[in-house]
Amino acid sequence: MHLQKLKLIWYFAYKEILLTRMSSLLVSAIIACGVITSAVTIKLYQTMSSVPLQDANELYVPLVDMWGPGGWDGGAPPPALDYFDAISLVNERRARGQSAVYQIDAAVRSIGKPYDRHALGYAVSHDFFKMFNVPFAHGSDWHVDGGIMQDYEVVISHRLAMALFHTDNSVGKDIAVNGRSYQIVGVMKDWHPVPRVFDVINDGGFEARPVDFFIPLASAVAQGIKNSGFRYCNSKLLKKSFENIEHSTCIWIGYFVKLDGPQEYNSYLAYLTSYASEQQLAGRFTWRPNVRLLSIRDWLKYMHVVPNSASVSALVSVCFLLICVVNSSGILMSNFMRRERAFILHRALGASSSDLRAIIFTYAFIVGVFGALWGWLGLESILFVLRRELPFALSDKMHLDLELLLVVFSTSVLSLVASAVAPAIRCSRLA
Amino acid sequence: MPGVKYFLKSLLRRKWFLAIVLGQISLSVAVMSNTSSLIWQNLEILRRPTGVAEMGLVVIEQQFRDDGGISGDWRKLNDQLEASRREDVRMLRGMTNVKSVSVISTLPLFNRGVSFSQIGTRPDQRKGLAYTSVDYGDQDTVKTLGLSLISGRNFIQGEVQHVKIYDTPSPSVTIISEHLSRRLFGEKSAVGRSVYLGGESRPVEVVGVVKDLAGSSTGGWVSKFAEDTLLLPAISNRYKTIYAVRVADPHEGIFKEIVMSSLMGLNSTRLLDLSDIRDYSQIVSDARRSNRGTLYAMIALVAALIVVVGGGIWGISRSLVAERQKTFAIHRALGATKRMLMLSVLLEGFVLAVIGIAIGAVLSEVLSGFLLTHFEVEHLPSVFVFGAVIEVLLVNQFAILLPSVEASRVAPAKLLRES
């Protein structure tokens, strides 16, 4: 009996679609339009604003004002550290983990080969790998912190290993970085965090070139490898050679710490303040301590990593989807009004008003599935175009994964069911 | 006009349709105003001139190899880098298709070698400093890039500073963009005046002003002073050296291959790939890719919106008219003219649209306020809300034009036939 009824509902819903072929097609297309735009813009926004790290909540960016009032915009401390402060903070090791980071544009080659290749790397401290969950395919990070011992050891990417040695496992081999020999201690798996949270200062976080290697900060400094990216000075350099950058107040080093819980946050903030007052006492700073300790999320906001257009277009497309829902609701409404007599006949032949509602919602569900199919096809093609147009780092993430597909499917069906609510209520009032 | 009153009454009886039309119109105003503002912003960025004559400029981005042996002795390294660079420039200048060559640190929209500095008009200024993007070049930069000098003069030979490796350039003259000139000196001429860089007390004299010179960084947090740029005459001895080359015939097909092989012929250990030799127009186009993408996407969204909303309103008013054919026929029989019927339908739509728009204007303000507080997006200028109101009204009136004509065509005789 129950099954019989269900069958009848399906049958009538199916009949409805056949009878209103064109407008059903139109409704599914309209909903698909709305779903596609929302899915694309939200996916883009989500990718740009995500923090691609497991324990992102434990990472913080300390900033210390070494320039004094008026040095940086709006009285905030400059957005990076100078050499002196970065090294002092690294050496005092007051956080659970800490790493200074600077970008290197180097020439690398395997020992014995005559030709160099361009490689993008970073000089980092030992804790970096654990803090940013760098995945290793072979080997591991270097063992002794470069802050104390100068080990010429390097961690390279899978890509660089393949390019230099044609084999993935090149641990133990040597490469030359800017002419100095470094021993490979680890090979990373493919690792492309988007946005590149540890280097948003250089290319807004969406740097196209992949990371090829990491070397110890101390070795990089000892070898005199300059940073390739951002450097900003508020005064003239004093001495010649690389040393002058070390002794200047030029800012060029990114700094990250790992802290667990509000208690550690508070004590680290207190430590930063006391560090700044010590500098004031020592005569380096002639102003009161001005420090910040930003969570990684606040840091990305502070640096405007997500462009305005990404958030505006995401919100606007959701509104567009709403318009589509309201719109198809109107179309369905006039459809069913034209079919009023048929519904009255159903009622006369013994269908309850809830049965009529069921028919309409079943109808909406089927059309919604069609809409989802349109949406899927449309989305595949739009993403295909986007992947060719976007910068590499982003395009890599713009794939139609199962999650997105489920979202498209459910939004499309839900939107159609939502737009069928008004007609359903109206029709069930028929007597 | 009793007809109008009647229509409004009949409209209130169709609450669902009322809600649907109002909902659509108000949401469209909110969407339309925000998308138009995005379109306008991106158009603005795309139309912003770089100041460079983009056609026929080729950029070579190469890096001399760091020979491990001499990097300890910076003097030797310095001399070697300088010799290599001079050799390159001499060779490039000698090529048949080449008009001029300049050694540069960065270019407008280049996104590499981005450098900027504080700038002030008084020595040791600490408060009220402006920021500025800095490019380094030589006496051939203005000519090679095709910058248009609107007052003052170009750099002369003796002014170009030759900076040793690891040193920071400190030239004593500069050419600034008109934008920066206006920001620092207002309408007065900047030529002959001094600026102070990085809070230093050493004056840098402005010798020339160029019409446009866009900054090298396109996005993020430095875009605030994207057009406040200055050019300093200095060539540094560096591993990475960038050459800008003005060519006579931009269409010579194998120019890049010839440059590549000639440069490798001079020094085969350098880092240079064919992909490092690029047309400047390509660089500009790549840098503006995301702006163009946003622009097209938003235009497509507006088009879709117009089709969907216009079509929706058309459909609804058509069925409303069809449903009331009997009423219209009675009206006609009682003496209403065709014109009156048409106008009453149009008016009905207009009244609805105005109510919807009022809600929509509030909604877009709310939306914009939400964006302001949660995403730090600037406040939506009211001109866009106003523009959106006009657009939506037009779409609405066009959509109900046909149905209103249909309404006016209802013949009084219809009554007879129906009964």
Q: What is the pLDDT of residues B200-259, one digit of tens each?
A: 778 899 999 999 888 887 665 566 667 888 898 988 888 888 999 999 888 877 889 999
My answer on whether B336 and B411 are in the same domain is yes
**Interface confidence (ipTM) of the complex:** 0.78
Cα–Cα distance for residue pair A323/B24, rounded to 1 Å: 5
Give residues 37 to 66 of A whose Cβ lies within 8 Å of B.
37
Gyration radius of chain A's alpha carbons? 30
pLDDT of B220 reads 59
Testing the interface with B: which of A44, A233, A312 to mutate, by most B Cβ within 10 A? Answer: A312
- How close A219 gets to chain B, by Cα (Å)? 14
On whether both B33 and B74 belong to a single domain, the answer is no
Identify whether B52 is part of a domain: no
Cβ–Cβ contact B297 with A under 8 A: yes
pLDDT, block means (10 residues), chain A with 431 residues? 80 84 88 91 87 85 86 79 90 90 87 78 91 91 60 90 87 87 91 87 75 91 79 58 67 91 93 92 87 91 82 87 89 82 83 84 91 91 82 75 88 89 80 66
3-class DSSP state of A66:
coil
Contact B302, B35 (CB under 8 A): yes
Which pair of structure tokens corresponds to residue B289?
A: 């890719």
Contact (Cβ atoms closer than 8 angstroms) between residue B314 and residue B24: no
Q: Which residues of A touch B19 (CB under 8 A)?
A: 422
Interface of B with A in 89-108 (CB under 8 A): none
What are the backbone dihedrals phi and psi of residue A230, each rounded to the nearest 5 degrees, phi first? Answer: -60, 125
Which amino acid belongs to residue A425? I
Q: Residues 26..45 of B with a Cβ closer than 8 Å to A: which?
A: 27-28, 30-31, 34-35, 37-38, 41-42
Q: Please indicate, yes or no, if residue B386 is contained in any of the structural domains.
A: yes
> What's the pLDDT score for residue A245?
67
Q: Is residue B199 part of a domain?
A: yes
What strand order describes the sheet that includes B57-63? Answer: B98-104, B240-247, B57-63, B277-279
Q: Are B61 and B107 in contact (CB under 8 A)?
A: no
Q: Tell me: the pLDDT tens digits for B226-242?
A: 788 889 898 888 888 89
**Residues with Cβ < 8 Å from B22, sequence gap 6 or more?**
B352, B355, B356, B359
Contact yes or no for B27 and A323 at CB 8 A = yes
CB contacts, 8 Å: A311 with chain B: 371, 375, 377
**Contacts A333 to B, Cβ<8 Å:** 16-17, 20, 316
At B68-83, the pLDDT tens digits run: 544 556 778 888 889 9
Q: Is A323 on the interface with B (CB under 8 A)?
A: yes
Q: Does the residue B358 lie in any domain?
A: yes
Give residues 136 to 195 of B whose Cβ lies within 8 Å of A: 164, 166-168, 170
Domain around B95: 65-270
| Predicted local distance difference test score (pLDDT) of residue B38 | 85
Judgement on whether residues B295 and B327 belong to the same structural domain of the protein: yes
Q: Is B275 a member of any domain? A: no
Choose among B93, B103, B172: nearest CA to B137. Answer: B103
Taking 3-state DSSP, the helix, strand and coil percentages for chain A, each rounded to the nearest 5, stand at: 55, 15, 30
Side-chain half-sphere CA neighbours of A205 within 13 A? 25
Q: What is the DSSP string of A339-380?
A: THHHHHHHHHTT--HHHHHHHHHHHHHHHHHHHHHHHHHHHH
Residues of B in contact with A234 (CB under 8 A): 118, 198-199
Chain A contact present for B123, CB below 8 A: no
Q: Is A115 in Cβ contact with B312 (below 8 Å)?
A: no
**Which chain A residue is nearest to residue B129, measuring alpha carbons?**
A70
Q: How far apart are CA B354 and CA B335, in angstroms?
A: 29
The sign of the torsion formed by the CA atoms of B335, B340, B342, B346 equals negative
Question: Could you tell me the two tokens for A61?
Answer: 């960016």
The answer to whether residue B376 sits within a structural domain is yes
Better pLDDT: B282 or B128: B282
Q: Are residues B183 and B324 in the same domain?
A: no
Contact residues, chain A, for B371 at CB < 8 Å:
311-312, 315
Q: Which amino acid is at B137?
A: G
Query: Does the beta-carbon distance from A178 to B68 stay under 8 Å?
Result: yes
Q: Please identify, among B270, B298, B314, the residue that sits at the C-terminal boundary of a domain.
A: B270
Residues A64, A276 contacting (CB under 8 angstroms)? yes
Is the pLDDT reported for residue B386 higher than 90?
A: no
B254 shares a domain with B105? yes
Selection from A319, A329, A370, A377 nearest residue B305 by Cα: A319
- Based on the fold, state whether residues B97 and B215 are members of the same structural domain: yes
CA dist., res. B46 & res. B255, Å (int): 29
Judge if B38 and B70 occupy the same domain: no
| Residues contacting B229, CB < 8 A, separation 6+ | B108, B132, B133, B134, B135, B176, B177, B179, B180, B213, B214, B215
Domain positions in chain A are: 2-51+307-428, 66-258
- Does B58 map to a domain? no
A140 phi and psi, to 5 degrees? -155, -170
What does the alpha-carbon distance between residue B200 and residue B109 come to, in Å, rounded to a whole number? 28
Residues B204 and B146 in one domain: yes
Q: Choose from B308, B391, B400 for mutation: most chain A CBs within 10 A.
A: B308
Counted domains in chain B: 2
What is the phi/psi pair of residue B175, to 5°? -115, 130
pLDDT of residue B324: 78
Residue from A46, A238, A308 to probe the interface with B (highest B Cβ count within 10 Å):
A308
**Alpha carbon of A343 to those of A232, A259, A330, A335, A421: distances in Å?**
75, 65, 18, 12, 16
The whole-number average pLDDT for the span B179-208 is: 87
Q: Which residue do the tokens 């940086």 mark? A: A72
Length of chain B: 419
| % of residues, chain B, pLDDT over 90 | 20
Does residue B249 belong to the interface with chain A, where contact is any CB pair within 8 Å?
A: no
Token reading at A126 = 């030992």
B350-376 burial code (b ≥16 CB/10 A, e <16): eebbeebbebbbebbbebbeebeeebe
Question: A205: left (phi > 0), else alpha (psi -120 to 50), else beta?
Answer: left
- 3-class SS at A115? coil
pLDDT reported for residue B70 = 46
Nearest CB to B31: which of A71, A320, A331? A320
- The yes-or-no verdict on residue B147 having pLDDT over 90 is yes
In a domain, B53, yes or no: no
